[in-house]
Structure 1
Amino acid sequence: MISEDADWKFTTIPALCARAAELYGTRTAVEDNGVVLNFAELDTMRKRVAKAMIAAGVEKGDRIMVWAPNTWKWFATALGLVTAGAVLIPASTRFKGAEIAELVKRSGTSVLFSVGDFLNTYYPDQLRAETRDLLREVVVIGEGSKGDRDWESFVASGDSISDAELAAREATVGPDDLCDMLFTSGTTGYPKGVMYGHQQCLRAIDAWATRVGIREHDRILVIPPFFHAFGYRSGAIVSLMRGAVLMPHLTYDAGEILKRVAEEKISVIPGPPAIFQGMLQHPDLAKFDTSSLRLGVTGGAVVPSILIRRMREELGFAGVVNGYGLTECGGYGTMCLASDPDEVIANTAGKAAPGVEVRIMGDDGHFLPDGKPGEVVIRGYIVMKGYFNDPKSTAKTIDPEGWLHTGDIGYFDSDGNLRIEDRLKDMYITGGFNCYPAEIERILSQHPAIGIVAVIGVADERLGEVGKAYVVLRPGTSATEKDIIDWSRANMANYKCPRSVEIRPSLPTSPQGKVLKNILREEVPQDA
């Protein structure tokens, strides 16, 4: 463990990297598609990337976006840019050009690191001309074309920067400085940047890793994308912190996961329930050797108790843990212990980490006793520093006493475990990804035939919940369910796309004209 030396404490991500190199040295840090880096080599690469950032004119506090799938280069880019004092803006590979344009504009991103050819698309081709105008540079993680610089030549450009210049820059990066901003859409339909600092990030990861039991030499297969707190913090950074092997995974395929588990002796898999359900559904599951699996870490959706049992019995996990968290708290909140009974792991989100308070608040602002449902509120070091350039939304979310209002309804049971009942917000979760109806409705409203649209989450056996859109067409226009779904797939990230569309002559509304989604939800069978 990193904190072996009583005098050493978490300060910044670059300091963590240097410490990991010192402690773990030539032990394997990353295995990725034939590339193997030890902790010392990863630290050397971090410094080279940081020098390249300085050579490219990146200043402390600049926002740098990474729009690429899980690879060691993604992680090295992130480590390098925070070493140079910049702020990481992770972007989903599912985002289309319009969504990236919005993100670049709202974050003030100056340099974009994009994947090249991925999923039959050259990603930079999706960038609008006005988006490129806002960027100083686009660097391609892969083969660059059309004038885009490739990652290797970008990194090499930093070799002209001296060690002393790098050390001077790194020395300006402090524990309270921002390390990243993960954008979350919230209920306004527009993305808000969650500002997170170096030290709070490391403290939160350390507390989580202690609770779930990440160990030295663990081989962690990171399937959740790095642009998500689950993948980046609970996969990549935790590996550095605990001396584990980071094994990035590109795209989810249950057969490929099982193959990697068998051949590469994976011991830990973090991810939403859909990942484990897919593995269990695979017709050839029995043919794969999964005996290396030790720990399954899940959350971000309802976890049926039968899934916990099957993960233990059929996949061979010795421990399975479940938790509750939100981006505004770094992706953390509460967590079960691997030693908790299956029913506790399946039905509760466990308890808060030390130094974090979680309470239940009533409509009148008073705290409620155990067993009484109300809004879940969180206070402590894990709470974000606020939304970027949005003091109004920040003040709405964090009250004057420092309580972050989650918008989720829950209660504490007699054992002190948090149980999440419902959401005050409309948000639903598809395969571990937060989906915000306000944002999806805003995009769907741009369809030429859509007059009114309301989106709700409905139950789905594989993904937990999926979107269903209720649509009233504009007069004189026509569109089918397929037309609207096809249009959605071309204009927004796949996980946001409604899986079904119901076209109606009208929708139920309040006297003020607001669509009454509770009525739409009541029409949907709960066991769908």
Structure 2
Amino acid sequence: MDTIPALLRAAAERYGDRPAYVAGDRTLTYAELLEAVRDLARRYVGHGLAAGERVVVWGPNSIEWVVAALATTYAGGVLVPANSRYTGHEVADLVDRTAATTVLVADGFLGRSQLAELRAASELSSTRVLGSLADLSLDHRGEERQVREASSEEVESRADAVAPDDVADILFTSGTTGRPKGAMSAHRQSIGVARAWAELGGVTADDRYLVINPFFHSFGYKIGILVGLLTGATLYPVATFDLDETMRIIETERITLLPGAPTIYQSLLSAPGREDRDLSSLRLAVTGAAVVPVVLIERMRAEAPEGLGIDHVVTAFGMTEAVVVTMCREDDSAETVATTNGRAIPGMETRIAANGELLVRGDYVMLGYLDDPAATAEAIDADGWLHTGDVGEMDELGNLRITDRLKDMYISGGFNVYPAEVEQTLLRLDGVQDVAVVGVPDERMGEVGKAFVVGTAARDEVIAFAKERLANFKVPRYVETVDVLPRNLSGKVLKQALRGSQARTSGTEEKN
């Protein structure tokens, strides 16, 4: 079972009538999931999807997202997830970069018209099919290929032909240059890392898994969807996080697994009416993506009403290029869980370079960046070590502690934000002569962006311009006008000076 189509077939055979997904009043069994995937894969092929072609899926967590993604690989295609909060400009870039021939869109999500945004932002020259994610309908755009009825035998042959080393997915991340890079993973890698995580977490078919982590992220997709196929657990996809609804689902559905960013648990602990909810079914929480206070881990483990009463709380470290690298074990102390990211998972190695940078090597390090051999060579050295850009240290047991960042990336609400991308966007605004963006502490989100702007652009203009072109979590929360940005002799902005000092400012600092 080293390909996703084979894994799906095995799950349907083994778990059959067990529920695979529950969303509202709808339940889809593993057998029904396979049939839905086969049906859409057949229509993909009928609309001209060839083996190896890319399919962009743009939308929030839903059963339809799962079917669209699995049908892509079943038909021999390559999945390209797009952040559900992205603007049309950002998704158009993914489509153009991957030459995607099929795009499925959850039009109308959060009151927006994603299809209109996408069409306005790109000519979609490579795209033959635009689909509606809500009902999994496909709309052929061109006349060069006629839509035909593909046979079930043809689709099964496609699935049989998928090999473990074939590229299964391309997940985009941003680098220090601000230009998104597509990290490519093989089928065996995506499945292998999901299997390692599931075994460390002791996930079984009896687990009920509330998936708040977005499917477009490696954690929601590989440590969500693929973990479900491996274990037979029942997944409950959440499109948008609502505190009351989350507590209701945990209580009524007796949820056992709740991975998520620290902000999820902080919100639950401070939620009005939590003492009236029975959340005792929770047995495993896996968190990370930000510094985790020791007291948070202690409260997550503490019995109600003081805490959430979760039996096992662990932290982990991962990145798009390697998904999961380290993970705590269930018997680790609260301090170990809160102050470290655990030890390397089976199949992975970690070490600290002379400059303090964390290096990672192993089975689940990406194949490379899409169409970017130079960036791949810069990220992965000749000995196979992935240079993470994070500064860390390890204790005598091998537990990893991230202490700093070589890059300027910060984490807002569990999402990575790369300032260079935000800066490049803002520099296109008239009235912005120079700009630097840094992450500043925020009680709820962990960190939020602050833009230091040189020029005449007003705060409202900066915010509005960013909102039109960037996902909301990338939009700076604060804007401050300054006379000049502090730079070193080589011209690099001294961002540490911006974080630690409010000198050399003029005008006012305003919050978005």
| Interval containing the TM-score (normalised by the shorter chain) | over 0.9
Deviation, 1:190, is: 0.6
The answer for the alignment partner of 2:82 in structure 1 is 91
Q: Render the CA deviation track for 1:124-179: whole Å, top value 9, x for unaligned.
A: 0111343333311210122699xx749xxxxxx88x32222112211210000011
The answer for the alignment partner of 1:352 in structure 2 is 344
Which of 291, 297, 308 in structure 1 is aligned with 2:297? 308
Deviation, 1:376, is: 0.6
RMSD: 1.7
SS at match of 2:310: coil
The answer for the alignment partner of 2:312 in structure 1 is 319
Matches within 5 A, 1:424-443: 424-443=406-425
* Contact 1:234–1:270, Cα closer than 8 Å, also in 2: no
**In 2, distance between residues paired with 1:173 and 1:399?**
29
**In 1, distance between residues paired with 2:174 and 2:123?**
20
The answer for the alignment partner of 1:449 in structure 2 is 431
Unaligned 5+ segments in structure 1 are: 1-9, 151-156, 364-373
* Contact 1:116–1:143, Cα closer than 8 Å, also in 2: no
**In 1, distance between residues paired with 2:188 and 2:286?**
23
Percent identical residues: 45
Q: Which moved more, 1:58-67 or 1:510-519?
A: 510-519
Deviation, 1:186, is: 1.0
**In 2, distance between residues paired with 1:22 and 1:131?**
43
**In 2, distance between residues paired with 1:149 and 1:334?**
43
**In 2, distance between residues paired with 1:501 and 1:113?**
35
Deviation, 1:383, is: 0.6
Aligned: 1:115 with 2:93: no
SS at match of 1:233: helix
Aligned: 1:489 with 2:467: yes
Amino acid at match of 2:318: G
Q: Render the CA deviation track for 1:495-515: whole Å, top value 9, x for unaligned.
A: 101111111111111223321
The answer for the alignment partner of 1:3 in structure 2 is none
Q: Which moved more, 1:136-145 or 1:103-112?
A: 136-145
Which of 284, 291, 300 in structure 2 is aligned with 1:295? 284
Query: 1:394 and 1:38, CA in 2 relative to 1: closer, same or farther beyond 3 A?
Result: same
**In 2, distance between residues paired with 1:524 and 1:21?**
59
Q: Render the CA deviation track for 1:6-59: whole Å, top value 9, x for unaligned.
A: xxxx31011011001111111111111221111111111111111111111101
The answer for the alignment partner of 1:239 in structure 2 is 228
The answer for the alignment partner of 1:505 in structure 2 is 483
The answer for the alignment partner of 1:70 in structure 2 is 61
Q: Render the CA deviation track for 1:380-438: whole Å, top value 9, x for unaligned.
A: 11110000000000000000011010011111112221111111111111111111011
TM-score, normalised on structure 1? 0.90
Unaligned 5+ segments in structure 2 are: 141-146, 504-512
* Contact 1:308–1:346, Cα closer than 8 Å, also in 2: yes
Aligned: 1:406 with 2:388: yes
The answer for the alignment partner of 2:330 in structure 1 is 338
The answer for the alignment partner of 1:281 in structure 2 is 270
The answer for the alignment partner of 1:132 in structure 2 is 124
Q: Render the CA deviation track for 1:308-335: whole Å, top value 9, x for unaligned.
A: 1111221121111101011111x21000
Q: Render the CA deviation track for 1:479-526: whole Å, top value 9, x for unaligned.
A: 33233223222221001011111111111112233211121122279x
**In 1, distance between residues paired with 2:496 and 2:411?**
18
Amino acid at match of 1:185: S
* Contact 1:468–1:500, Cα closer than 8 Å, also in 2: yes
SS at match of 2:436: strand
The answer for the alignment partner of 1:519 in structure 2 is 497
* Contact 1:216–1:243, Cα closer than 8 Å, also in 2: yes
**In 2, distance between residues paired with 1:201 and 1:144?**
24
Amino acid at match of 1:350: G
SS at match of 1:90: strand
Q: Render the CA deviation track for 1:284-307: whole Å, top value 9, x for unaligned.
A: 111211111111111111111111
Which of 446, 451, 459 in structure 2 is aligned with 1:464? 446
Q: Render the CA deviation track for 1:326-355: whole Å, top value 9, x for unaligned.
A: 1111x2100001221100000001111122
- Alignment length (residue pairs): 492
The answer for the alignment partner of 1:35 in structure 2 is 26
* Contact 2:68–2:133, Cα closer than 8 Å, also in 1: no
* Contact 1:458–1:524, Cα closer than 8 Å, also in 2: no
Aligned: 1:184 with 2:173: yes
Deviation, 1:116, is: 1.9
Q: Which moved more, 1:273-282 or 1:478-487?
A: 478-487
* Contact 2:64–2:135, Cα closer than 8 Å, also in 1: no
**In 1, distance between residues paired with 2:346 and 2:125?**
46
Query: 1:524 and 1:428, CA in 2 relative to 1: closer, same or farther beyond 3 A?
Result: farther
Amino acid at match of 2:477: R
* Contact 2:68–2:136, Cα closer than 8 Å, also in 1: no
Amino acid at match of 1:70: N
**In 2, distance between residues paired with 1:523 and 1:346?**
29
Deviation, 1:114, is: 0.1
Amino acid at match of 2:495: K
**In 2, distance between residues paired with 1:237 and 1:35?**
20
**In 2, distance between residues paired with 1:442 and 1:103?**
17
**In 1, distance between residues paired with 2:502 and 2:76?**
49
The answer for the alignment partner of 1:4 in structure 2 is none
Q: Render the CA deviation track for 1:175-230: whole Å, top value 9, x for unaligned.
A: 00011000011111111110000011111111111112222221101011100011
Matches within 5 A, 1:355-374: 355-363=347-355, 374=356
Query: 1:24 and 1:466, CA in 2 relative to 1: closer, same or farther beyond 3 A?
Result: same
Q: Render the CA deviation track for 1:66-91: whole Å, top value 9, x for unaligned.
A: 00110011001111110111100000
SS at match of 1:126: helix
The answer for the alignment partner of 2:143 in structure 1 is none
